[in-house]
Amino acid sequence: MIKPDLTSGLMLYFIFLYSTVLHEAGHAWAALRLGDNTAYKGGQVSLDPIPHIKREPIGMLLVPIISFFLNMERGALWIMGWASAPYDPHWALQYPRRCAWMAMAGPAGNLLLVLVSAFFIRLGYQMEFFTSPDKISFGSIVAAAGENRLAEFFAMLLGMTFSLNLLLMLFNLLPVPPFDGSAIPIFFMSDRTAEKYLHTIWNPNFQIFGVIIAYNVFGYIFTPALIFAVNLLYPGVTYG
C-alpha cells in the first residue's frame, strides 16, 4: 500500500498532469488531422502542459492539489481534476463522424499509457525486478522484489500510471454526456440523426445529469476492471 504523503502526491500529480495532457493533445491532434484547427491555434496540439494549464487552471492545478490534501487527511491517495481542448461545433455538426473519431482519440492516449506501463511492469516482473503484491489497490499493483529503492520508485511510478490511465480511459468512455463515450453512438447514425444527437448531448442539463450518473456508477465499473486488468499482468496469480 502506497503511503499518501508529499512524495507520492507529487508523483501522482505528475502522472495526472501528463496523462491528462496526452488525452487532450490526442483530441486536439485528431481534430487538426480531421479538419478543425481550433485547438491547434490554442496550443493544445502539444505535450507541453502550459497551454493546457492556461486553458483550465482550476481543473489542472487548483482542484488536483486541494483534492490530494483533502484525501491525504483521511489516509487515501487520490486526486481529481480535468482539462479540455476546444473544437469548432460547426465543424462537428458538418462532420459528425470526424467529431466522434476526435472524441475517441483522448481515451486512446490513456490506453497507450496503460499498455506502455503494463509492458514495463511485465518486463520487470520477468526480470525479477518486480513481484506481484500481496494485495492490490489503486496504484499499488506491482511491488519491488526485495529491498531495492530503485525498484520501489519504478513500481510506484508504473503502478500509478497504469491505474490512473485505466481510470481515465474508462471514465471518459462512459456513454453519457459530457464524456467522450457519448460520441460512440454517432458511428451508427445518419448525419441528420447525428446532428440532432449532438445538439442533445451539448445541452448543459443533460451534461450535469451525465456527470451525476457517472460519479454514482463508476465505482461499480472501475474496481472489477482494475482487478481484471491486474490479473492479466500476472498469469497464475488471481486477485479477487
Note whether residue 238 is domain-resident: no
**pLDDT at site 158:** 97
Within-domain flag for 176: yes
Domain-embedded: residue 13: yes
Residue 1 lies in a domain: no
Distance CA 165, CA 119 (A): 14
Q: What is the predicted pLDDT for the residue at 146?
A: 86
Sequence-distant (6+) residues with CB within 8 A of 3 are: 77
| 236 — pLDDT class (breaks 50, 70, 90) | confident
Whole-angstrom Cα distance, residue 131 to residue 142? 6
Closest CA to 154 of 164, 165, 142, 146: 142
**Helix, strand, coil % in the chain, rounded to nearest 5:** 70, 0, 30
Please check the confidence at residue 93 and state whether its pLDDT lies above 90: yes
Q: In a 3-state reduction of DSSP, which class is residue 137?
A: strand
131, burial (CB in 10 Å: exposed 0-12, middle 13-18, buried 19+): middle
**Chain segment 204-213, per-residue pLDDT in tens:** 999 999 999 9
Query: What's the structural domain count of the chain?
Result: 1
Q: Which domain holds residue 49?
A: 6-83+91-233
pTM, 2 dp: 0.95
* 157 within some domain: yes
Inside any domain, residue 154: yes
**What pLDDT, on a 0 to 100 scale, did the predictor assign at position 76?**
83
Nearest to residue 113, comparing CAs of 29, 48, 169, 177?
Answer: 169
What single DSSP character describes residue 183?
Answer: G
- 109-148 pLDDT per residue, tens: 999 999 999 999 999 999 999 999 999 988 889 999 988 8
